[in-house]
Amino acid sequence: MAVTGRRIGETLLSVDNISLSFGGVKALTNISFSVKEHEILAIIGPNGAGKSSMLNVINGVYHPQEGKITYKGQTRAKMKAHEAAQQGIARTFQNIALFKGMSVLDNIMTGRCLKMKSNFLLQAFYLGAARREEIEHRRKVEEIIDFLRIESIRKTPVGRLPYGLQKRVELARALAAEPELLLLDEPMAGMNVEEKEDMCRFILDVNDEFGTTIVLIEHDMGVVMDISDRVVVLDYGRKIGDGTPDEVRNNPEVIEAYLGNSH
């Protein structure tokens, strides 16, 4: 498939023996896996398996009770949310989290927040520098709009767009942060076949052209098998599979838990 000729690098992120519970609910039990630079890793598993929780641990929204997270060579017991963002981890959400009344362009601009150096005071006193910075941000955002082919809707309020396009705008906002590690929580959920094909193409292009490492959660097994280098399988908060798409597809435990029936 399209996953050829790319340079897979050193380990960018590893999670070791992560356990996370909410009261009596064990969302994750002893989970370990790693992601290498430029890789596309898929996390799959039935509803409630702990997939979204895993992304929330990686970007510091949830703090696990046990385990370690090593990102860019630095090991810690938990990731803090602002630290994750500052160190180049961006994500999209299972339920679209955009400002529905704001235009596509303005929503994508919010993805640049962390990159903005000048605050209001600086903007007041050093107008020239602030203006130059603003122009640079706009340029970057226009580049992303171009890349994701959403020029024609740049002024449209997000709430008026069909679902598939809203998902694309959310990807655009995440890309505006110029992430090194992009976490995508079901980027193709609820899309029709054509929209899914487009989204797959964009994900592969992001990975290819920007070298972005990608961890994505996806239920569509066709998509997973097509675009991922490796697949981690969760079931009831435990890891039951980890390998190439072919290895995972032929793993009896995975077939039993997940692939065997409706998938």
Ligand X SMILES: Nc1ncnc2c1ncn2[C@@H]1O[C@H](COP(=O)(O)OP(=O)(O)OP(=O)(O)O)[C@@H](O)[C@H]1O
Residues in the site for ligand X, rule: CB under 6 A? 22, 25, 27, 45, 47-53, 94
Could you give the CA distance from residue 118 to residue 162 in angstroms, rounded to a whole number? 35
Q: Which is nearer to ligand X, 47 or 152 (CB)?
A: 47
Q: Which is nearer to Mg ion, 87 or 94 (CB)?
A: 94
Using CA atoms, how far residue 207 sits from 56, 100, 235, in Å, is 21, 28, 27
Could you give the CA distance from residue 202 to residue 158 in angstroms, rounded to a whole number? 19
Q: How far is the CB of 113 from Mg ion (least distance, A)?
A: 25
Give the chain's length: 263
Q: Which is nearer to ligand X, 50 or 241 (CB)?
A: 50
Could you give the CA distance from residue 118 to residue 116 in angstroms, rounded to a whole number? 6
245 binds, among ligand X, Mg ion, none (CB under 5 to 8 A by kind): none
Q: Which is nearer to ligand X, 35 or 49 (CB)?
A: 49
Q: Which is nearer to ligand X, 25 or 77 (CB)?
A: 25
27 binds, among ligand X, Mg ion, none (CB under 5 to 8 A by kind): ligand X
Q: How far is the CB of 51 from ligand X (least distance, A)?
A: 3
49 binds, among ligand X, Mg ion, none (CB under 5 to 8 A by kind): ligand X
| Closest C-alpha among 225, 216, 227 to residue 254 | 225
Q: How far is the CB of 161 from ligand X (least distance, A)?
A: 23
Question: Footprint of Mg ion on this chain (CB under 5 A)?
Answer: 51-52, 94
213 binds, among ligand X, Mg ion, none (CB under 5 to 8 A by kind): none
Burial class of 12 by CB neighbour count within 10 A (0 to 12, 13 to 18, 19+): buried
Q: How far is the CB of 217 from Mg ion (least distance, A)?
A: 6
φ/ψ (deg, to 5) at 241: -160, 150
CA atoms within a 13 Å half-sphere pointing along the CA-CB vector of 23: 0
